[in-house]
Amino acid sequence: MSKITIALESAVARVKASSPPEGEASTARQRAEVDRAFAHILRLIAPRIRHFIRQYGLAAHWDDAEQACSIAVHRAIQAYDSEKAQFTTFVNWQIRGELQSLRFRLMTDQRPSARKVEAVTVSLDAIGSGEDGEDISIVASIEDEEALDRTEAAASDYLARAAMVSLADTYVEHLRKTGMERLRRQARSRKGRRAEVEGHEGVDGDDRQRRRVWRAESSAIDPADLAELEERLQHNRKVVEHRLFELLPGEPFDDDSGVMRERARQIAKRAARTMCELAGLDPRFAMMAEYGQALSAH
């Protein structure tokens, strides 16, 4: 066994010993030791790397080839088993595989179609000059012609969804206020009827006091009515989000007779009219109101 082989085996063993068990984070000391051992391994096999780069005809892409070899060495260390082969043999095949893959990617320039347009493969790490004369990487200079359209479309979808959710909130709050006012009127009506009945009855002082307390309690809204109102509001909101705004998938309001679907259609129809009125009164939805008026005109 040569001195280089022995030194490589020792350096790989240091990397293995300094690496934490799987799933555990490495300490700063361990990372520093691994970096030193890895750098030592690269220095030991540097002549071998230079030989393979020239052998595979990649001297014109030296930086990319060296980076590919570093990746190969890292993978070789991670997968190396000293009981199956020597590290020098194992790492040779890893380096060859990475360089062969790199050469396949670079040889696309030799195709007739690439020669016709004078295509040239360049390293993404290469540095060029921007419009202002400053250095700029090749990656930073690549322009995605569809990026602006995709960004604007995504922003438009986001704003539209936010507007629809906000309008649905406003609609449900409008229904809640209307429903609460109706429940208050019903509570006051019940209180009035009770008072009328008591006016025809003779009562003493204690009974009068008890009935005043009863009247105050009877004027409050029944919790069961409140729960029913909230359940109806949530159902209406789901109808609006599904049928008008298509924010919910599927058909959640269906049965064998189609009654629930027809009810949902009627709710959506009334909701559309109400939300048109609300959008016209709220400046937040001015654009939506104008769009609705334009559709109505056509």
Better-scored residue on pLDDT, 7 or 198: 7
> What is the amino acid identity at position 43?
R
pLDDT tens column, 146-192 = 888 888 888 888 888 888 888 889 999 999 999 999 888 888 877 66
Does residue 78 contact residue 33 with C-beta atoms inside 8 Å?
no
Does residue 15 contact residue 37 with C-beta atoms inside 8 Å?
yes
Burial 103-122, CB ≥16 within 10 A → b, else e: eeebeeeeeeeeeeeeeeee
Does residue 30 contact residue 18 with C-beta atoms inside 8 Å?
yes
pLDDT on residue 17:
87
* 3 state SS of 27: coil
* Whether pLDDT at 3 is above 60: yes
- Please list, in sequence order, all residues whose beta carbon lies within 8 angstroms of the beta carbon of residue 35, skipping any fewer than 6 positions away: none
pLDDT on residue 121:
62
d(CA 13, CA 33): 12
pLDDT on residue 162:
86
Domain boundaries, the chain: 3-126, 156-297
Q: Please state the φ and ψ torsions of residue 110, each to the nearest 5 degrees.
A: -90, -5
